[in-house]
Amino acid sequence: MGRLAAKRTLITGAGSGIGRGAAVRFAAEGASVMCADRDPAGAETTVRMIEKEGGTAAACRVDVTVEEDAERMVAETVAAFGGLDALYANAGVSGVGTGADTTLDDWQRVIAVNLTGVFLSDKYVLRHLLVQGTGGSVVNQASVGGLVGVPGIAPYAAAKAGVIGLTRQLAVEYASASIRVNAVCPGTVPTALVVGTYTERNGPLADDWQADRARDYPLGRLGTEDDIAYAALYLASDESTWVTGQVWAVDGGITAA
């Protein structure tokens, strides 16, 4: 039996990076996975990767900033799998800018995806779980950037800190219904988002940028999609049924240093 056997799951931002890695890992552990993304081609590619390994998955086009999309995404998941047990609200964008130079447009764009998008995804999954009556698990994607100051990512850091507050809030609001809500705070995983962030902040990347960045990490390397997926997997599974309201840095030790 897989660690997520018979779990019906929904992952936002599953068309790339950490979301895709988690979708593949969840499916390998027996979950049905709805791969939701605003990039339908990316989501379809993830579905094909899962099906090639004999797993169960479907794709859904969604912009998590649009309330009707979030509601439809949950309805499509329930229709596809006959219910929904766990959400990984992972979709996000980079958010470069200091406090003094971030434009209001950039601020609102980043907050819309990275905070409001998590709120809307959680909202409709919670509504479904309350009706379903079987408890469930919500895993929200925060970041090390929501825990400590990192110069030059003010809107991103504010959104991720907001996700942490929302996570604790929802955890206490829905614990009595056996719905658990936790957050994962990844350190640097070299995905499209990270390459975009670094390029925007520092210009073209040097060939050895990953090795250079890895020197900041006590464990001596950057993260992988699987490093984060395994944390989300644990929180989505029944292995963590006494864990709620927690904020888990999965970060090679950087916030401890």
AA identity, residue 64:
V
Q: Which is nearer to ligand NAD, 92 or 155 (CB)?
A: 92
| 209 token code pair | 């940028």
Percent helix, percent strand, percent coil in the chain, to nearest 5:
50, 15, 35
Backbone angles phi, psi at 189, to 5 degrees: -120, 120
Half-sphere exposure at residue 84, Cβ-oriented, CA atoms within 13 angstroms: 29
- 50-69: which residues touch ligand NAD (CB under 6 A)? 62-65
**Tokens 């916030």 label which residue?**
255
Half-sphere exposure at residue 12, Cβ-oriented, CA atoms within 13 angstroms: 32
- 198-217: which residues touch ligand NAD (CB under 6 A)? none
Among the candidate windows 47-55, 181-189, 208-216, 240-248, which touches ligand NAD by CB under 6 A? 181-189
- 215-244: which residues touch ligand NAD (CB under 6 A)? none
Binder of ligand NAD out of 60, 91, 153, 179 (CB under 6 A): 91
Establish if 193 lies at the interface with ligand NAD (CB under 6 A): yes
* In contact, 60 and 36? CB cutoff 8 Å: yes
Please give the size of the binding site for ligand NAD, defined by CB under 6 A: 30
Establish if 188 lies at the interface with ligand NAD (CB under 6 A): yes
How many whole angstroms separate alpha carbon 122 and alpha carbon 134?
Answer: 16
| Active site positions, annotated | 156
Establish if 45 lies at the interface with ligand NAD (CB under 6 A): no
Q: Which is nearer to ligand NAD, 31 or 232 (CB)?
A: 232
Among the candidate windows 23-31, 190-198, 206-214, 231-239, which touches ligand NAD by CB under 6 A? 190-198
DSSP secondary-structure letter at 146?
A: G
How many whole angstroms separate alpha carbon 18 and alpha carbon 224?
Answer: 8
Least distance in angstroms from the C-beta of 186 to ligand NAD: 4
Establish if 167 lies at the interface with ligand NAD (CB under 6 A): no
Least distance in angstroms from the C-beta of 177 to ligand NAD: 26
Establish if 191 lies at the interface with ligand NAD (CB under 6 A): yes
* In contact, 246 and 184? CB cutoff 8 Å: no
Establish if 162 lies at the interface with ligand NAD (CB under 6 A): no
* CA distances for 115 relative to 24, 61, 187, 221, 245, angstroms: 25, 19, 18, 28, 17
* Torsional sign, CA 2, 92, 253, 139: negative
Least distance in angstroms from the C-beta of 241 to ligand NAD: 25
Residues in contact with ligand NAD by the rule CB under 6 A: 12-13, 15-19, 37-39, 42, 62-65, 90-93, 113, 117, 141, 143, 186, 188-189, 191-194
